[in-house]
Amino acid sequence: MEALGLPSKNGNDFTSKIHHTAEGPTDPRSNHSIQHKIVCVTGAGKGLGYHIAIAYAHAGATGLIISSRTKSDLDALSAELKTINPHIEILSQVCDTLKETDIIELAKATKERFGGRLDVCVANAGIISKYLPDGSLPVGLVADMDFERVIDINFLGTMRVARHFVPLLLESKQGAQAFVAITSVAAHGFSSSFVPVAYNVSKIALNRMVEHMHHDYHKDGLLSYAVHPGAVLTPQTQAHSLSKGDAWDSGESRAMEAHIAMIDNV
């Protein structure tokens, strides 16, 4: 993993056993602590965010706020959530985390729909730099012409969500509220040959921001988490491999499952 710019203590040996599927207490169906909770998930239209919302429905959440840039994705998710729990209350709203006005409107709608109640906010929306004309990911700062957009969505977008949803969490006072930012072990890497530098930088900045949130708000009852979800196969990551046996080839990627998360869930 050193060749990929990941430190030797990158988390692969943090536990003696690595799980690739939810089971036992990690299965949402077995987790009853979320029952009667109100949860918001941004970037819920596809990929990881889609399945985070489904997991909360299985765990018994009373209400779900789901957002993404694409209404048709949200409609499909809403329909699936209703098959899991016909009684779950869903607020589905298009929201681009690049636009603070969209986030303000989502927070306002959340407060109105659920009477000021919010227990968990999962800031999941994120992207990776656009592919180059040859189909490869950009390597290095010079090649990555998408740098600013990645930082704006992954880091500043999460900051904007926190700016307008942390007050809702703090006002709820229904026990301990939680803000969850989806990050990546790529934050600790320094090789952009596997993951573009903009993604790495956005995630390490996100980690430190969450540390600040913990320091600033834990006394008020807010739990702040930066969560590395593991390697996640999404529609975008399927195109990362360009040749058999490279780092993103399916066989090689399985060996990386404890190391890196690539998410495109806006």
Choosing from 37, 46, 56, 199, the catalytic residue is: 199
The CA–CA distances, whole Å, from 30 to 38, 60, 83, 144, 180 equal 18, 10, 18, 43, 20
Choosing from 37, 56, 203, 217, the catalytic residue is: 203
Residue 227 neighbours by CB under 8 Å, 6+ apart: 180, 181, 182, 183
Annotated catalytic residue 217? no
Annotated catalytic residue 50? no
Sheet holding 38-41, edge to edge: 89-94, 63-68, 38-41, 120-123, 177-182, 222-227
Query: HEC states along 45-95?
Result: CCHHHHHHHHHHHHCCCCEEEEEECCHHHHHHHHHHHHHHCCCCEEEEEEC
Positive/negative CA dihedral, 205, 240, 22, 125: positive
Contact present, 229 and 237 (Cβ < 8 Å): no
Distance separating alpha carbons of residues 130 and 63, to the nearest angstrom: 34
Q: Hey, which residues are catalytic here?
A: 199, 203
